[in-house]
Amino acid sequence: MSLSLQGVTQQVGAQTHIHRTDLTLENGTMNVLLGPTSSGKTTLMRLMAGLDQPTEGRVVWQGEDVTGMRVQDRKVAMVYQQFINYPSMTVRENIASPMKLMGIDRAEIDRRVDETAEMMKLTPMLERKPLELSGGQQQRCALARALVKNAGLVLLDEPLANLDYKLREELRAEIPRIFEASGAIFVYATTEPEEALLLGGNCATLWEGRVTQFGPTAEVYRQPADATTARVFSDPPMNFLTLQKRGDAMTYGTDDVLPSGYLGDGLRDGTYLAGFRPNHLSLEPVEGAIRFETTLTVTEITGSETFVHLDHHGERWVGLIHGIRDLTPGQALDVYLHPSRVYLFDADGALVVGASYAEAA
């Protein structure tokens, strides 16, 4: 069983919301759609569900073309970031409501409600009204109502965005367990790279209506196919440095020079883009590391870590440094970066072929 988008596009007037997309999601997989706001995550989900129809292409479910099929006739469930529960109904009645509409007999409804409530840890709350629940319990109720339909496709559109940190962490840990128990295809939209890594499974990165890469989540994170994917899958955003290779040397900034073999052998002359994540910058010298002279612009202390915002010849960088540092904005600051933590992209933004040195965790 699979869901396949084949040459799917969506245009609204002169605007293209989804560029040509070919994407296949297999049965029993967790699939994360990762991208910033307005990158196309919700639009892609609506096309999967049948809430919208593609301008071109088709949607194939279990080998059947369902492009024109109504959402009511598909085995699809959706959960949004806003809690959608009926306030006048109990939790039991909320969970049972879609099955009543489907005409399922009472005994089967009771069995599924009890089974799903147990899985979602809602059994003690079944006779309560939604307003008597915490935010996390309300979202679990909404999830239970989606799961109880035994839908083959469950779409979760930033379902934890409106919860506080503790509740988000709790449900992030539970969702993979719920997914494994249900056996459905799960599609989970998020703007947060950390959340994508916690959920695991597969990840599709989106940027301006394009799927830039799709594959196992950890693999997409470690080996982004291009600079755009690297930007999407880094929070804070990945830092970049423009390099010029000429003969045996690579130059950057004004007159700074690196031996050409420092970032990989066999590179052709030309312009390259070096990318590196904030947590790979260091304030302490590291053996074999490249030293960069920067100016500190802003510091942000977040508990046991410090974000340092840097100016390097007009390029804006962010470093994530362990510990609380007593630093003064405006001061000169040397930072260090080991070449093994650098991704190298060509002038078109594609990861350089054979750049196996980029094994940054």
Of 251, 278, 270, 277, nearest to 262 by C-alpha is 251
Residue 90: pLDDT band (50, 70, 90) is very high
Tell me what pLDDT residue 147 has: 81
Whether 17 contacts 172, CB under 8 Å: no
Helix axes 135-147, 106-119, angle to 10 degrees: 130
| Tens-place pLDDT, residues 270-310 | 999 999 999 999 999 988 888 999 999 999 988 789 999 99
Give residue-wise pLDDT tens across range 107-163: 999 999 998 898 778 999 999 999 999 888 888 898 888 888 878 899 999 887 777
Q: Quote the Cα angle for 171-174-178, to 5°.
A: 125
327: amino acid identity, one letter: L
How many Å apart are CA 229 and CA 34, to the nearest integer? 10
3 state DSSP class of 218: helix
- Domains of the chain in start order, with CATH, are 2-231 (3.40.50.300), 237-345 (2.40.50.140)
Q: Please say whether the beta carbons of 10 and 52 come within 8 A.
A: yes
Q: Report d(CA 274, CA 339) in Å as an integer.
A: 10
The closest of 233, 328, 335 to 280, measured between CA atoms, is 335
